[in-house]
């Protein structure tokens, strides 16, 4: 598997008999062995299991059996998605040895499509972070510059795809955790609409915000993977029962006549000048191809960071209450009683960032403060969603930067939680509103770090969103550029 082999190309080569699935998987593990020592994108992988599955695919093809759309394609998934093979750690000491009795819905869908899940990727602990520095098992480094972060919390998945360890991977996006690392690592990251992809088997962070999405080399691969993992699942009460379009078949819709919304709220103070210029150049390119640029107003977006970090931490406090050292997960070695067992297990098992968010969320939900913080945040969220609903009456997609800057240095924001939280300023509003959004490579900084363009569409508007993104990539080559660690075949 070379760096240029997309998920689509890999599946085609297996189906056509040009290459064997076993050969592709073995090459995948060779690259992990040589490259991931420096990156630490993978938390776990299983070569024997993967090769056995690849041989099953090759035998099926040889006997003329029909193959799934991802047959023989090696993929990685973020280690907060449950599998019946290997551990599901969430990057935390709390779940270091946890083995799930069931697989996540998306894992079932990928395997039904013939994909070979070779392992699990690194993340910020329990998906709480913007740099993949906050995991219990070490940071993931950026393939473009190993002194820089890969983004978070799906930084392991983004780095694995960018470095060519796998042609595609899954991440989860609660406030930008697919799109931000995609931008930092120069790959495509898609956050589907809330309810489009089942969350069954995804270890919850913020239940009203979480959504699983693909990280890929190009938009066609994102469309292909979304078509596999999307759809109703009765095991997830928030899964919406809507037909799944053929996203790949609809990619070739022209840009002519597409209305692209631009809001000043995404281009204000704090935006790096190189980022501003690069994103505006991308928007002008789409105008040149026939798109119509429309000014819109999202007046409540300025409250999105504060709103998000009340709602998300409140939901995290509730969701993580189950990790108490009783039924599963880490338990302190020498408890002096039941209360000490609870306190010590959680104190020792959780990292500092997770503790910070649990405490913030518990405070926001506590008696006397819930009205002032949590309920007020829910009201503001409604206003933010209303702004997006109003905007999408006049435009088809909204364009913005994905992040304020290119990837920052490892450790640069580690001691400043507020600076870290502000890395999500352009991405979290899509989660609050429940709309779909995608990050695309649109250029590079003067220091050769990738820069990301974000496109957002209305809820369940992935068809149009993906076609606009694909048309942009037809006229650019930013997504074809590889970091130094992946430049060799």
487 is catalytic: no
> Is the distance from CB of 49 to CB of 28 less than 8 angstroms?
no
50, 153, 154, 193: which one is catalytic? Answer: 153
100, 177, 400, 439: which one is catalytic? Answer: 177
Banded pLDDT at 487 (limits 50, 70, 90): low
| 53-100 confidence digits (pLDDT tens) | 999 999 999 999 999 999 999 999 999 999 999 999 999 999 999 999
> Is the distance from CB of 163 to CB of 483 less than 8 angstroms?
yes
Which residues fall within 8 angstroms of residue 219, CB to CB, at 6 or more apart? 188, 251, 438, 440, 466, 469, 470, 473, 479
Residue in 70, 61, 135 with CA at minimum distance from that of residue 106: 70
For the packed helices 219-229 and 7-15, what is the interaxial angle rounded to 10 degrees? 70
Banded pLDDT at 414 (limits 50, 70, 90): confident
13, 44, 50, 78: which one is catalytic? Answer: 78
Banded pLDDT at 488 (limits 50, 70, 90): very low
pLDDT of residue 489: 39
Q: Residue written as tokens 């694909």?
A: 470
Report which DSSP code applies to 201. Answer: T
**Residue 3 clears pLDDT 60, i.e. is over it:** no
78 is catalytic: yes
| 376-410 confidence digits (pLDDT tens) | 999 999 999 999 999 999 999 999 999 999 999 99
Q: Residue written as tokens 């750690």?
A: 89
Report which DSSP code applies to 133. Answer: -
Per-residue pLDDT, averaged over 469-479, amounts to: 97
306 in helix, strand or coil?
A: helix
44 is catalytic: no
Beta bridge pairs of residue 116 = 74
If 0-12 CB within 10 Å is exposed, 13-18 middle and 19+ buried, where does residue 59 land? exposed
pLDDT of residue 327: 87
pLDDT of residue 117: 98
10 Å Cβ neighbour count for 290? Answer: 12
The C-alpha R_g of the chain, in whole angstroms, comes to 21
pLDDT of residue 485: 72
Domains (range + CATH), the chain: 7-258+461-486 (3.90.1300.10)
pLDDT of residue 484: 86
pLDDT of residue 2: 44
pLDDT of residue 235: 98
Report which DSSP code applies to 202. Answer: B
Maximal C-alpha separation, the chain: 70
Per-residue pLDDT, averaged over 326-355, amounts to: 94
| 206-215 confidence digits (pLDDT tens) | 999 999 999 9
Beta bridge pairs of residue 148 = 409
pLDDT of residue 4: 59
Report which DSSP code applies to 122. Answer: -
Residue in 431, 422, 454 with CA at minimum distance from that of residue 385: 431
């Amino acid at each position: 598997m070379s760096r240029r082999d997309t998920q689509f190309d890999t599946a085609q080569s297996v189906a056509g008999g040009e290459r064997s699935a076993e050969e592709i998987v073995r090459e995948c593990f060779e690259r992990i062995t040589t490259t991931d020592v420096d990156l630490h994108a993978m938390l776990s992988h299983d070569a024997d299991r993967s090769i056995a599955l690849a041989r099953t695919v090759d035998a099926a093809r040889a006997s003329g059996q029909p193959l799934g759309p991802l047959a023989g394609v090696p993929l990685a998934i973020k280690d907060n998605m449950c599998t019946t093979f290997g551990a599901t750690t969430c990057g935390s000491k709390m779940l270091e040895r946890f083995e799930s009795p069931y697989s996540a819905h998306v894992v079932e869908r990928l395997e039904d499509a013939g994909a070979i899940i070779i392992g699990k990727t690194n993340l910020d602990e329990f998906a709480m972070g913007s740099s993949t520095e906050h995991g219990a098992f070490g940071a993931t480094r950026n393939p473009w510059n190993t002194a820089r972060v890969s983004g978070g919390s799906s930084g392991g998945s983004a780095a694995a795809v960018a470095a060519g360890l796998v042609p595609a991977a899954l991440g989860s996006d609660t406030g930008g955790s697919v799109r931000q690392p995609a931008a930092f690592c120069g790959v495509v990251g898609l956050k589907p609409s809330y309810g489009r992809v089942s969350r069954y088997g995804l270890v919850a962070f913020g239940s009203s915000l979480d959504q699983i999405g693909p990280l890929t080399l190009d938009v066609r691969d994102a469309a292909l993977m979304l078509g596999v993992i999307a759809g109703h699942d009765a095991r997830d009460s928030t899964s919406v029962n809507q037909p799944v379009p053929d996203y790949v078949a609809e990619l070739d819709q022209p840009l002519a006549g597409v209305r692209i919304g631009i809001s000043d709220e995404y281009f204000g103070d704090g935006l790096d000048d190189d980022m501003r210029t690069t994103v505006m150049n991308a928007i002008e390119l789409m105008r040149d191809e026939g798109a119509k640029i429309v000014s819109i107003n999202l007046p409540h977006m300025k409250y999105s960071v504060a709103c998000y970090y009340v709602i998300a931490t409140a939901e995290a406090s509730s969701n993580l209450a189950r990790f108490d050292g009783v039924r599963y997960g880490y338990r302190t070695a020498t408890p002096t009683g039941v209360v000490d067992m609870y306190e010590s297990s959680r104190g020792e098992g959780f990292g500092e960032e997770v503790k910070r968010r649990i405490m913030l969320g518990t405070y926001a939900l506590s008696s006397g403060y819930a009205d002032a913080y949590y309920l007020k945040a829910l009201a503001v969220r409604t206003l933010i969603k209303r702004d997006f609903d109003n905007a999408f009456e006049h435009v088809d997609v909204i364009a913005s930067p994905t992040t304020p800057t290119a990837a920052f240095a490892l450790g640069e924001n580690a001691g400043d939680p507020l600076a870290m939280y502000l890395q999500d300023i352009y991405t979290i509003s899509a989660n609050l509103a429940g709309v779909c959004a995608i990050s695309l490579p649109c250029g590079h900084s003067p220091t050769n770090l990738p820069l990301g363009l974000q496109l957002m569409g209305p809820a369940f508007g992935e068809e149009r969103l993906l076609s606009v993104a694909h048309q942009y990539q037809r006229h650019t080559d930013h997504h074809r550029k590889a970091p130094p660690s992946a430049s060799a075949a």
